[in-house]
Each structure stands twice: as structure tokens, then as C-alpha cells.
Structure 1
Amino acid sequence: MKLFQFSKNKYGAELLMDIGTNTSIPNYFFESELHNTDFFEIVFFTTGNGILELDQQKIEISDNTVVFISPFQRRKWFVNKSEINCHFLFFQDGFLSKFFSDKLFSYRLQFFFNKTKPLFIKVDNVFWLQLRVIFEELIAEIKELRSDSEHIIRSLLYFILIKLNREYSDNYQLSAETETNFIAFKFKQLLQNEITKSRNVDYYARRLQVSRVTLNRCVKAQFGIAVSEMINEFLIFEIKSHLLYSNFSIKEIAGLLDFSEAHHLTRYFKRSAGLSPTDFRVAYQNGSSVF
């Protein structure tokens, strides 16, 4: 699988953020071959067409669609590049998290590392025009970098992300809170990084040094689902990813995800997905929709 890496020195001095349009960044990878990147991406389509297959979701790309892509998410694009108009916003996690001394910043945003909700929104023209003004300011600042440009760029990017988080949260009836509920954000980070180690609620409660009741209350308030449901969503996501995008056997996947036997994974998966792992994989390979 192709991995596209962020170009830190594109503008001479190191800058962990980039913005542009499909005309200024014509080589953007709208590829139908499976690929991923090592940075965050938000793509704003003024004019769109086709389909994006993004980590087990099929997203219809139409006018005023905003797509959110986290690092290393697998994707395939099926679009007509000649009929697209869009802006790209790229950044690496450290661009904001180090500046704000907040390693959880990207986990505070509902649209990154989200395994349960659609990874896109449709925006109206008023909101889109507000964003366009900020985009132009960012582009102008990057073109004429000064010693203090990074501070302006960070603040504008932060503004865009918080506005988008509010819009996304309203759209999917989630909490737009980013400043409180540390426990919920830390839990999301732990799940992203440690779901292969444990699917036990007590494990995460111990890691966070809180009770199961407290953990469940915080997660429910922020993400709208119980801790056990969120663990299940992340684990099913991992199983599906291996089934769709790897050649590992069911036994090997079971070992990777800490199931003692392959049939335990099969039973767990079928209960949630309605298909056995083998049937799920075969259906995808035969072109059937499993999303």
C-alpha cells in the first residue's frame, strides 16, 4: 500500500501545515489504488463528484462536502479530477499539539479518529464563504512567510478546526466541548492506540485511574455512547480493516487482537456484523457492498 508522507520543507523553512486548491496542488493523490498518508487531511469540495472509500465508509462527494481524514486511514478515490474544485488542508499533529502543550488536541475533535460517525459533512454557502476568507488569509501568509507567521497560521488553523468541530457535532448530535472532559478524550486516545491490547472496560478504567461509573459517564457525555459500545466499535473496526486490507488469516487476526481462539473472534464478529469474517471478506472481494 502506498504511503504519502508530509513534505515539511516545501516552503523552505520547516512548516508542518499546508493549504491549497486542486489547481495549486495538482498532484494530490485522488487515486483509486489503496493508499494512506501520515498527516491529517480536510478536503473542502466546492464542486465534487464520485465516491471516496475511506476506511469502511463510502462517501458520496458532491458540492459543499467536507471530508475528514486521520493519519494512516486507508482510502480509494473514484472521482473525475477534471470536474472537481476543492481546497486541501493538511497538517501534522505536532503543529498544534506541541504549541498548545496538549497531546490530546486531535482527540478533542469529533471528526478525527471517529469509528462510529460519517467522516464528512455538508455545509451551506454562508459557512463555506466564511471558511474561504480564512483560507485566503492562510494561503497569503504561507506565501510570504515571516518570523511570526507560524503564530498567525496556527491561530487561523485552530479557528477553522474549532468551527468545523461545532458544525460536525451539531450535524451528528454530539458534544462540541473541547476544553473539559479530559477523561473522555484520554479514553479515545487509549482506544486508538491500545485496542489491540484489551477490550476490557476495567483495563481502561485502571489506565485512567477512575471507576467504571465515572469513565462511562464521561464517555457518554462526550461521544453519546457507553464505554463498552465504543470499545466494540473500535474493535470491530480493527477486525474489518484486517479483513478488507490485509492477507492475514482469521487465526492470525485473532492473535493480533488478543482473541485466544479464532472461533472466539468469529463469534464476536458475527454477533456485531451479521456475517462471519470469511463471508465479510469474500463479499468485499466479490464487489458486494459491506459498508
Structure 2
Amino acid sequence: MASVTKIKTYHFLPCKYGLELLLDIGRIESLNHYVLDSTLHQLSFYEIIFIEEGRGTFTLDENKMPVAPQTVIFTSPGQIRCWEIEEQVKGYTLLFEKDFLHLFFSDELFLYRFQYFHQYSSPTQMQVSEVSFGKCLDLLYGIEQEFGQLQNDSNHLIRSLLYQLLVILNRYYASVYNVQRDTSVHSDFYRFRSLLEKKFVDDRSVEVYSRMLNISPGFLNKICKQFSGLSAQQMIHYKVISEIKKQLYQNKSAKEISYEFGFSDPSNFNRFFKKLTGITPQQYRKNI
């Protein structure tokens, strides 16, 4: 049996400022023991990173992306990551728990309405113009200033600034990658994305998800294509493969992974992985 590599997990500190706040902001250069961790690690919360200066690479799951000025990086809970820094990185990190927005908007699907979170196929970073990056910095300054003088209603002001920031980032992302940015797309698509995060281990067929959503498989495929450019089955497969790769990062055996993901035996698991990636799990592990 393969030895298991322990991956460090960082958790959110809700009472860091004395009262419960499910959002935090900081300068990257002053949080280097957390932000710029060069070992494999993961977060249990959302993070958006704004690079003002620096050079190197940031690896998120298996995707290695360049670190450069005016770059914005989006990470979702549970993704495996590490930094390789060549020149000092400066900028902002914005971190928050989903409930910071979910509870306020009474919408558990709220964060699934933005293209850059829980993304399986498109990039999870973008480089924007100096003007666009400046608009983001203005909102970040506003959040930072409010943290410097917290009051009883500060969470409302901070939440409003975060909401503005998420919306303009969604516009920039849609423009950079030519994807749908309308956050009023059919709600069943967001429900599907949410279910996929919770059910991917147990269910891998479009029919099962369409029954849970009480819609036809054809309609589910239609709205998936409309918003993501992928079929529902492709989205399911992207999610399952991305999660399997996390397990391979930790050197789990094919037998362990096939059991966890509900495959009948390791050979079926190996065939599934090779069909979707072109290589065997063993080859993938060797590459990383």
C-alpha cells in the first residue's frame, strides 16, 4: 500500500477581531507563513488573491499558473495548492467563509453564480488591465479601512463592498475568457453545480442529477451548455477526475481510491481515469 502524504489544511479564524467575522483581508507580504506556503496545502474557505508585484508560479490542483502583476487568482475550498516564488510577491489576499454571503442573501447557491469559483475546466486566474485592477484595489482599500475601525455595522458595509467586487470580477472573467457572465441564468444550473459538489462520489450519471432536480436530462444538458460550454456529463466527469487527482496527490493506492469513489474494483477505476485523461493513475502520480 502506498504511503499517504499529509496535506496541511488551513481553517478560517472567525473571531480573530474579537467579534465573529467570516471574512478577512491582508497583505500577502505580511502573511507569508500562510499565503506563500511552498508545501502542498489546502484551505477550507474561499480566497481571492490580487498580485501587485512579484514573479513565480502558483499551482492549484494540477494547474500551474504564472504569478505576475495585475493577476487575480480564485481558489475554492479543498483545492490543493503550493507556491514557488522567484521574486517577492506583494498584493492582497481576501478570504471568506461561504456563510458570510449565503446567510445574508438567503441563497445557498449564491457563490455558484460566479464563473470563477468551483471551476473544473476554465482557468482559475486572470490578468486584467491596469484600470480594471485599480478598480479592484479601490474596493479592497475600502474593506481594509473598515477592518481598521470595526463597528457594530461593519459587517454590512464589508459585505456590500465584497458583493461589488465579486460582480465586477465576474464581468472581467467573462470578458477575458468569453464565457457567460449573466448571474440570472436558469437557477437549475446553479442547483446542479451545488449538487455536484456534494454528490459526485455517489452519482456520476446525468439521469440521477436530472431526477434530483426534477428536470429532463435534455434540459439539464441544454442549460449546462448555455452557461459553461460543457455538457452535464462532461461537468460530472471534470469534477470526479479533479477530486481523484487530489487523492493521487496524497499517494493513496488505486484500491483505496476506487473504494472511496464507488468503483467496483481498481481495474474499472483505472479504465475510467485513463479514458478521461489519456494516462493511467500510476502515470499521473509519477508525473506529479
Which bracket does the TM-score occupy, shorter chain normalised? over 0.9
Residue aligning to 2:198: 193
8 Å CA contact 1:20, 1:87 repeated in 2: yes
Pick from 145, 154, 158 the counterpart of residue 153 of structure 1. 158
Letter in 1 for 2:39: E
Pick from 257, 261, 265 the counterpart of residue 257 of structure 1. 261
Residue aligning to 2:57: 51
SS in structure 2 of the partner of residue 49 of structure 1: strand
SS in structure 2 of the partner of residue 99 of structure 1: helix
My pick for the range that moved more, 19-28 or 135-144, is 19-28
SS in structure 1 of the partner of residue 172 of structure 2: helix
Report the TM-score when normalising by structure 2.
0.94
The runs of 4+ residues in structure 1 deviating greater than 6 Å are none
Residue aligning to 2:34: 28
CA positional deviation for 1:237: 1.3
8 Å CA contact 2:185, 2:227 repeated in 1: no
Residue aligning to 1:4: 10
Report the TM-score when normalising by structure 1.
0.93
8 Å CA contact 1:201, 1:228 repeated in 2: yes
Residue aligning to 2:71: 65
Separation in 2, partners of 1:187, 1:74: 23
SS in structure 2 of the partner of residue 53 of structure 1: strand
8 Å CA contact 1:18, 1:91 repeated in 2: yes
CA positional deviation for 1:29: 3.0
Separation in 1, partners of 2:206, 2:213: 11
The gaps in structure 2 that reach 5 residues or longer are: 1-6
Residue aligning to 1:288: none
Residue aligning to 1:38: 44
* Coordinate RMSD, CA, aligned: 1.4
Give the share of equivalent positions with the same residue, in percent. Answer: 36
Separation in 2, partners of 1:261, 1:24: 48
Q: Which has the higher contact order (CA 8 A, sep 6+)?
A: 2
The gaps in structure 1 that reach 5 residues or longer are: 285-291
Pick from 108, 113, 122 the counterpart of residue 117 of structure 1. 122
Separation in 2, partners of 1:137, 1:201: 44
CA positional deviation for 1:50: 0.8
Separation in 2, partners of 1:64, 1:239: 32
Residue aligning to 1:97: 102
CA positional deviation for 1:88: 0.9
Pick from 74, 81, 90 the counterpart of residue 75 of structure 1. 81
1:279 paired to 2:283: yes
My pick for the range that moved more, 97-106 or 129-138, is 129-138
